[in-house]
Structure 1
Amino acid sequence: MMINMLRGAISAVGLLAMTVVASAAGTVEILSTAGCGCCVAWSRHLQENGYATKLKYLPAGDLWNRKMKAGLREGLTSCHTGLIDGYVVEGHVPAREVARLLKERPDAIGLVVPDMPSGSPGMGEPGPNSEPYKVLLLRRDGSTEIFASYP
């Protein structure tokens, strides 16, 4: 009987810890156009790393306008735009860089992975044919700096 109570307590603690991790990660609103499979795959990548996601499909022109209003510019865009806790996360940014952004809280618009590099989250598995890419920190003045690099 005591062992069953102990097992129950351990299970409850484990469930509570998983809930705290997931809620600490937050919800990412993902703006995309309907039918984009890599946007769905990036959403799944975030979910696998503790984030809740909410996909919102927009017509292409409306999506572009939202990107520009958020502070992005041509050359720094991808197929989807994530919004979390006051930051923009543009493109196939790895979940660990989103976590770092939220932990460090730089004075910035957010993170950007321009284009759609092969092997980035949502763009297939990393492997020998993966493209190297950089995660850029987009400052409020429009300048960028390298936040992380992936081979």
Structure 2
Amino acid sequence: MIRHADRSLINRRGFAGALLGVTAAAALARTGSAGAAPAKTMRVYKSPTCGCCARWVDYVRADAWKVEVVDLQNVTSIKKQVGLLPQLASCHTAIVDGYVVEGHVPLPAIEKLMTERPDVHGIAVPGMPQDSPGMGGGGVQDVFAFTRDGRTRPFTRTAG
């Protein structure tokens, strides 16, 4: 026979278990499923007439990324809006799960960013290196990480 005090304990345990289950379900709903990789989606801001930007978008899409393209006549405004350091600027700016990805960044660097999730504002390949993805090659690129307060550091040296 279960006494009244024992029923209260069981009810509290049952409530705690139910609460834990609801909390876990809500967390899974936000992330998709336990252990699932984040969705491969990004938004790219670029000039409508820039061919190398379009080729970089094609390069990313070829790896099953869903890319929303936003064509802007003046890409400088988005760079300022997202807090990009001028010395890291390139021709297009992408936003990937809250990170800024500037320029012709190779996919392995973006994958590393998404896997490691470092405490940075974004990553960049400054300028428009001729052998970078979208520019006609798959050469080795120096990718830099940067913080909101302007600190930069090497992130990876990656082939595209």
Fold match (TM-score > 0.5): yes
Unaligned runs of 5+ in 1: 1-22
Number of residue equivalences? 123
Q: Which runs of 4+ in 1 moved over 6 A?
A: none
Q: Output the CA distance in 1 between the equivalents of 2:55 and 2:102.
A: 14
Partner of 2:119: 107
CA displacement 1:38-78 (0-9 Å, x = unmatched): 11111111111221111110121xx2121012111211100
Instruction: Quote the RMSD (CA, aligned, Å).
Output: 1.7
Partner of 2:51: 37
CA displacement 1:66-120 (0-9 Å, x = unmatched): 1012111211100000011000000000111111101111111111100000111
Query: Which of these two proteins has the greater Rg computed from alpha carbons?
Result: 2
Any conservation in 2 of the 1:118–1:124 contact (CA below 8 Å)? yes
Partner of 1:145: 153
Q: Output the CA distance in 2 between the equivalents of 1:116 and 1:150.
A: 15
Partner of 1:94: 106
Which of residues 38, 62, 77 is equivalent to 2:89?
77
Distance verdict in 2 for CA 1:25–1:45, change over 3 Å: farther
| TM-score (structure 1 length as normaliser) | 0.75
Measured after TM superposition, the shift of residue 125 of structure 1 is: 2.1
